[in-house]
């Protein structure tokens, strides 16, 4: 039985806690959060005897022995907390993004190597049937030479995300430059991961950003256009268009791949459906339905595939698998986002 603790009990931390408690190979011993939630906010299926600690140091000094810590805190805390936990002898599961700088991500890798512990990234969109199918097509080279790759991510994040009811106070970390990091880290890191997972490293050519609809809520850009090429392939065309300025609810996330022998488009709100397939000798696939989006009340997130992450942790630590999303892959996402933001400052 793999013993878990959860660090941070916001929306996603509660989801980790519920999945751990339901897993036959895992047990949830404790959670760490400054505030203990009311019973009506406690995830279904979580035993009441799960211990509460108000700080990471209190957990490490006085808590039970555990194997794995799931880090579900604000983005800017991921790296220092991961390093602290790794050095204390725990394996870590780190919600996206792994860190907010490449340097911080590399510090996680060093701590894992020194402690001989494992780091599991959370990029659960890889588990969507459409994503896995596209990866198979690229590995089999059914599209031939890749000519163009285009990503569009158009979501809603308005005052319901950046303020707290009922009086509209600022959210404690949503929109905070040092804790949030911006929409590419917080909303769209999953889709940047899919880009790298499917196509390898890319070179950013140019970028333009603007804050169109959040001037009173945060200081970073909510929308942008990025031009890139596949690394070492100057003849390819690539683009990323993103925005959280969409009114009322998420619109779509799409990935279009154009090759010499065909075209594929993933779509839907969460890039979890095959919307178009015109490829030589490849029919439109009949895939299982993707998991629904994570529902956070006034807004929704990416597909609810976190159970695959917990499965992977249990399998790896019982000797039956390999880490599905490595720290090195998490650093690659952070590095590309930093490259994109730097390109927009030129």
Q: What is the pLDDT of residues 214-272, one digit of tens each?
A: 999 999 999 999 999 999 999 999 999 999 999 999 999 999 999 999 999 999 988 99
User: Who contacts 273 (Cβ-Cβ below 8 Å, separation ≥6)?
Assistant: 130, 266, 267, 290
Of 18, 135, 114, whose CA–CA distance to 70 is shortest? 18
- As a whole number of angstroms, the distance between CA 59 and CA 78 comes to 16
Residue 84: CB atoms within 10 Å? 17
pLDDT at position 108: 98
pLDDT at position 257: 98
- As a whole number of angstroms, the distance between CA 106 and CA 199 comes to 22
CATH architecture of 125-302: 2-Layer Sandwich (3.30)
CATH architecture of 2-121: 3-Layer(aba) Sandwich (3.40)
Is 153 in contact with 187 (CB distance < 8 Å)? yes
Alpha helices in the chain (DSSP H): 11-22, 56-62, 78-87, 102-115, 129-139, 159-162, 183-186, 189-199, 306-317, 327-344
Bridge partners (DSSP) of residue 51 are 30
Residue ranges per domain, the chain? 2-121, 125-302
Residue 185: CB atoms within 10 Å? 23
Low-confidence spans in the chain with pLDDT less than 50: none
- As a whole number of angstroms, the distance between CA 13 and CA 15 comes to 5
pLDDT at position 44: 66
pLDDT at position 46: 78
DSSP state for residue 285 in the 8-state scheme? P
pLDDT at position 35: 85
């Amino acid at each position: 039985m793999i013993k878990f603790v959860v660090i941070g009990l916001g929306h996603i931390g509660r989801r980790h806690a519920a999945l751990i408690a339901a897993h036959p190979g895992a047990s949830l011993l404790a959670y760490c959060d400054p505030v203990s939630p009311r019973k009506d906010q406690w995830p279904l299926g979580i035993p009441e005897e799960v211990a509460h600690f108000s700080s990471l140091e209190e957990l490490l000094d006085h808590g039970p022995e555990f194997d794995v810590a799931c880090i579900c805190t604000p983005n800017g805390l991921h790296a220092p907390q991961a390093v602290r936990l790794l050095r204390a002898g725990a394996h870590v599961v780190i919600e996206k993004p792994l860190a907010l700088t490449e340097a911080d991500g590399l510090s996680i890798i060093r701590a894992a190597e020194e402690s001989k512990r494992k780091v599991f990234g959370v990029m659960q969109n890889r588990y969507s049937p459409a994503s896995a199918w596209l990866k198979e097509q690229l590995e089999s080279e059914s599209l031939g030479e890749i000519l163009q790759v285009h990503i569009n991510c158009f979501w809603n994040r308005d005052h319901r995300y950046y303020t707290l009811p009922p009086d509209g106070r600022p959210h404690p970390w949503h929109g905070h430059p040092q804790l949030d990091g911006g929409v590419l880290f917080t909303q769209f890191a999953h889709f940047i991961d899919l880009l790298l997972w499917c196509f390898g490293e890319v070179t950013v050519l140019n970028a333009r950003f603007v804050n169109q609809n959040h001037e009173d809520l945060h200081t970073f850009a909510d929308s942008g256009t990025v031009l890139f090429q596949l690394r070492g392939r100057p003849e390819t065309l690539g683009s990323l268009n993103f925005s959280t300025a969409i009114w009322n609810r998420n619109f779509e996330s799409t990935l279009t791949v154009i090759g010499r022998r065909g075209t594929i488009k993933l779509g839907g709100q969460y890039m979890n459906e095959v919307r178009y397939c015109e490829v030589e000798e490849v029919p439109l696939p009949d895939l299982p339905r993707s998991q629904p989006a994570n529902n956070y009340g006034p807004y929704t997130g990416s597909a609810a595939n976190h159970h695959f992450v917990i499965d992977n942790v249990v399998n790896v630590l019982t000797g039956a698998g390999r880490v599905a999303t490595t720290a090195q892959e998490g650093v690659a996402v952070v590095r590309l986002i930093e490259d994109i933001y730097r390109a927009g400052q030129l």
